[in-house]
Amino acid sequence: MNDVFARLESEVRGYCRGWPAVFTTARGSHMTAEDGRTYLDFFAGAGTLNYGHNNPLLKKRLIDYLAADSIVHSLDMYTAAKRTFLERFEEIVLKPRGLDYKVQFPGPAGNHSVEAALKLARKYTGRETVVSFTNAFHGMTLGALAVTGNSMKRTGAGVPLGHGVAMPYDNYLDGRTPDFLLFETMLDDSGSGLDKPAAVIVETVQGEGGINAATAEWLRGLSDLCRRHDILLIVDDVQMGCGRTGAFFSFEEAGIVPDIVCLSKSLSGYGLPFAITLMRRDLDVWEPGEHNGTFRGFNPAFVTAVGALEEYWTDQDMEKQTLAKGQLVERGLDEIALLNAGAVETVRGRGLAWGLVMRDPELAPRVCAEAFDRGLLMETSGPEGEVVKLLPPLTTSEADLSRGLEIIAASVSAVRDAVTV
């Protein structure tokens, strides 16, 4: 069946190895394979499908736009679709939150947003070093990879990765050291060997890193530290933005205002490649054309992005529902953890991003495999792949969330029993 994949597709392919099915259609929180099986999707395109697959509210807008022979590709020419996106993003997202950002279209992918953010921070400050955190993930292009922690992916660069320094993330040392003790001591010490950073780049919840959720206090401490030391704060909200943690931006709960914000993944609302970089107005020191790229103006994404904003973000319902659903998931996972204390180390997460941390890293992929057999898609994350990661569409019904939790419970049991035997 899959001969052509094995014969033609590079060995670099990954997800397909754990999910040996050929998918054909999808709607909402479900994906269907060509053998007719339907899967509940707690993966959601690694956070790209917060509003579900082929969301009907957006689908109509997209097809109408295409059917009218509207502009599809425009680089950074002016188009009506882009103007509408900017207007609605300003009205629905920026203004109500009191954010005075300018918007850059850096290319279609999250790593484009990160690359642009790093360039801008370096250009603005005239400094080179960027501080990232242990277990950070910011992308695979060379600039983004240099602030990413995963050693296998770093090795793939084939050249030494420079200009980045990794600091411990929240709770990295198990509560045994005060927040930022090392970071601030090194900044205050002219002999520390830490060259003054241009910026700090941070995820509020580390998705690939294992669903490590920083506390609001830690994020405020980081913001404060950056301000005191005149270092730019970049929040990479590629995976955790667009409502994944409740509010539109994941940093809102902490009450901080980053200098630069990276958005992508669910921004288009429909799985279309789209990314933006937001920057404090006075940071916009770019020369015209200093950063460019072919797919900066993919207009269908503007259209579905506007659709997502208008359908989901003009009131508080989305945020409230996400938080409520998150509590449902948390309770379900806590129960699983309690019943399987020998196999499950802990449960962690925020909003609708959750991780079930297995004691033995080998167990997590086995839980996911059992879940797949039972019709549920989930991936692992964390440095050793030890975390079962739940990232269901935000639009998943409570019934489906419950059903997914039941499958997880059964999968953990199956794995645990196998271990016991």
Q: Shortest distance, CB of residue 342 to a second copy, whole angstroms?
A: 23
Subset of residues 222 to 241 that bind a second copy, contact rule: CB under 8 A: 238
Judged by CB under 8 A, the residue of 42, 92, 93, 108 near a second copy is 108
Contact between 355 and a second copy by CB under 8 A: the answer reads: no
Q: Shortest distance, CB of residue 220 to a second copy, whole angstroms?
A: 21
Distance between CA atoms of residues 124 and 282, nearest Å = 10
Subset of residues 155 to 194 that bind a second copy, contact rule: CB under 8 A: 155-166, 168, 172-173, 176-178, 181-182, 185-186, 189-194
Contact between 48 and a second copy by CB under 8 A: the answer reads: yes
Subset of residues 197 to 226 that bind a second copy, contact rule: CB under 8 A: 198, 209-210
Distance between CA atoms of residues 342 and 207, nearest Å = 24
Closer CB to a second copy, 134 or 413, in the complex: 134
Q: Count residues contacting a second copy (CB under 8 A)?
A: 151
22: number of Cβ within 10 Å: 12
Subset of residues 244 to 263 that bind a second copy, contact rule: CB under 8 A: none
Judged by CB under 8 A, the residue of 294, 314, 327, 346 near a second copy is 294
Judged by CB under 8 A, the residue of 40, 50, 139, 231 near a second copy is 139
Q: Which residues of 242-261 are buried (b: 16+ CB within 10 A; e: fewer)?
A: bbbbbbbbbbbbbebbbbbb
Closer CB to a second copy, 100 or 335, in the complex: 100
Which residue's entry shows tokens 């990295």?
Answer: 172
Closer CB to a second copy, 112 or 416, in the complex: 112
Q: Shortest distance, CB of residue 324 to a second copy, whole angstroms?
A: 26
CB contact set of 23 (below 8 Å; sequence gap of 6+): 31, 32, 33, 34
Subset of residues 114 to 133 that bind a second copy, contact rule: CB under 8 A: 115, 118-123, 128-129, 132-133
Strand, coil or helix: 388: strand
Q: Are 213 and 349 in contact (CB under 8 A)?
A: yes
Strand, coil or helix: 76: coil
Distance between CA atoms of residues 148 and 144, nearest Å = 7
Subset of residues 304 to 343 that bind a second copy, contact rule: CB under 8 A: none
Quote the DSSP letter at residue 146: T
Distance between CA atoms of residues 199 and 355, nearest Å = 29
Contact between 376 and a second copy by CB under 8 A: the answer reads: no
Closer CB to a second copy, 25 or 327, in the complex: 25
Contact between 92 and a second copy by CB under 8 A: the answer reads: no
Give me the torsion for CA of 139, 145, 146, 148, rounded to 10°. 60
Subset of residues 14 to 33 that bind a second copy, contact rule: CB under 8 A: 14-17, 19-27, 31
Closer CB to a second copy, 13 or 320, in the complex: 13
What DSSP element (H or E) covers 233?
A: strand 232-236
Quote the DSSP letter at residue 166: E
Distance between CA atoms of residues 408 and 418, nearest Å = 15
Distance between CA atoms of residues 188 and 181, nearest Å = 11
Contact between 394 and a second copy by CB under 8 A: the answer reads: no
Q: Which residues pair with 167 in a beta bridge?
A: 133
Judged by CB under 8 A, the residue of 79, 113, 322, 411 near a second copy is 79
Closer CB to a second copy, 56 or 316, in the complex: 56
Closer CB to a second copy, 281 or 316, in the complex: 281
Judged by CB under 8 A, the residue of 37, 77, 230, 255 near a second copy is 77
What are the backbone angles phi and psi of residue 90, rounded to the nearest 5°? Answer: -65, -50
Q: Shortest distance, CB of residue 259 to a second copy, whole angstroms?
A: 14
CB contact set of 14 (below 8 Å; sequence gap of 6+): none
183: number of Cβ within 10 Å: 22
Q: Shortest distance, CB of residue 384 to a second copy, whole angstroms?
A: 7
